[in-house]
Amino acid sequence: MTLSIRFIVVRSIILSLLVGSQLYLYIRGDRALRRSRLSPRRRRQFRAALAGFFLSIATIYLFVLFGGARLQHPSPVILYGLLYPAAIWSFGSLFSFVILLFADLIGWCARLLRWRSPHDALSREEAPDPSRRRFVQTGLSAVAAAPVLISGYGASWEGTGHTIDEVRLVLAGFDPPLRVVQVSDIHSGLFMTPSRMRQCAEAVQQLQPDLFVLTGDFISNSMSYLAPCVEAMAHVRARYGSFAVLGNHEHWYGEPEEFVAAFDAAGITVLQNEHRVIETDRGRIAVAGIDDLRFGKPDLDRALTGLDPLVPTILLSHRPEIFPRAAARNVALTLAGHYHGGQVNVKLFGFTLNVARLLSPYTEGLYQLGGSHLYVNRGLGTTGTPVRINAPPEITLLHLA
């Protein structure tokens, strides 16, 4: 397992942004309290409470950073009493920080322009209207609080549960259609508990899959989270078997051999640049799988070598960017995940904005190139934050006729 320089740099930037935003919010809040009309005693009490709150947040950051992986799956008291509130606050307050910083920059620029303008010399000597300032500050505080409230909704409501998304495709004239269930990006960890993974596995089993496929990122940030994930997914009994490929998190926090051995012992075949041909009562179908495109050792040619071109092939890949090459090789269907459907989608004026759209043309749903199709699953878990907005967790049921 080797962590790339890019991975370390990105994580360092995120941590610095988190720490910097919290420090800014504390300084701004403390300044507002010092300027308030509260009594000196009440002002000291609120300032002490504010300092205590941000010290608690910093303590939780340090705990998760240096000891969170050893915590494994925490008790509900720690999870819902400490970790979820801290995660909700951290994600939402990043946007609050941006809003308040932007407002401060506008204020600083306005004051600078007034100071440099000669005809405003007299106006600078006039005292500002207190009622107008309070109105502006109240409105700004309400706007800045909104991201935290939205973050709470995204973690407590939209980030839990799952949807069953059904897709119907014609591959080889199967009658009745082959039922393939896809699960991706489970991210077993602090916010993906064993009970929730068992519930997802039960939901998959109720769909009565002919094939069960998993497209990577089984853990969040520690091998200690693997066993509950494997145990839950092993409860799924698919008529023609269960197959999986590895994602980037498996390469970041473990060794491929460890995952292959764990899943193999549970009856789930991990396809590492290889394929299996399955004899069904409706004809033959091939399932191929490749390693993670960026951090693994993917080899599409090796995965497809020896396949009969007349046998429809399902290619499993954690990342969807393999699709153009797969289509050129006449792969009937590619199944992928990785991007969580953007995880946090902002919809404005008919457009959907998310970070994933800056990284890939394939973020969620169905795509087609010629006679080849790609489906990108939104995943069950989350990464970085338990918040999901306009991107609910997904189990995909594909009817392949």
Q: List helix spans (H) across 242-285.
A: 248-253, 256-265
pLDDT in tens, 351-369: 788 889 999 999 999 999 9
Question: Does residue 114 register a pLDDT over 80?
Answer: no
List, in order of start, the domains of the chain with CATH numbers. 5-158 (no CATH), 163-400 (3.60.21.10)
State mean pLDDT over 318-343. 97
State mean pLDDT over 27-41. 90
How big, in percent rounded to 5, are the helix, strand and coil portions of the chain?
Answer: 50, 20, 30
State mean pLDDT over 75-102. 92
pLDDT for 62 equals 79
b/e map 179-202, b = 16+ CB within 10 Å = bbbbbbbbbbbbbbbbebbeebbe
pLDDT for 248 equals 96
Average pLDDT, the chain: 90
Q: Mind giving me the DSSP string for 175-206?
A: SSPEEEEEE----BBTTB-HHHHHHHHHHHHH
Question: Does residue 87 register a pLDDT over 70?
Answer: yes
Query: Is residue 291 a contact partner of residue 273, using CB atoms and an 8 Å limit?
Result: yes
pLDDT for 122 equals 46
Other beta carbons within 10 angstroms of residue 328's beta carbon come to: 12
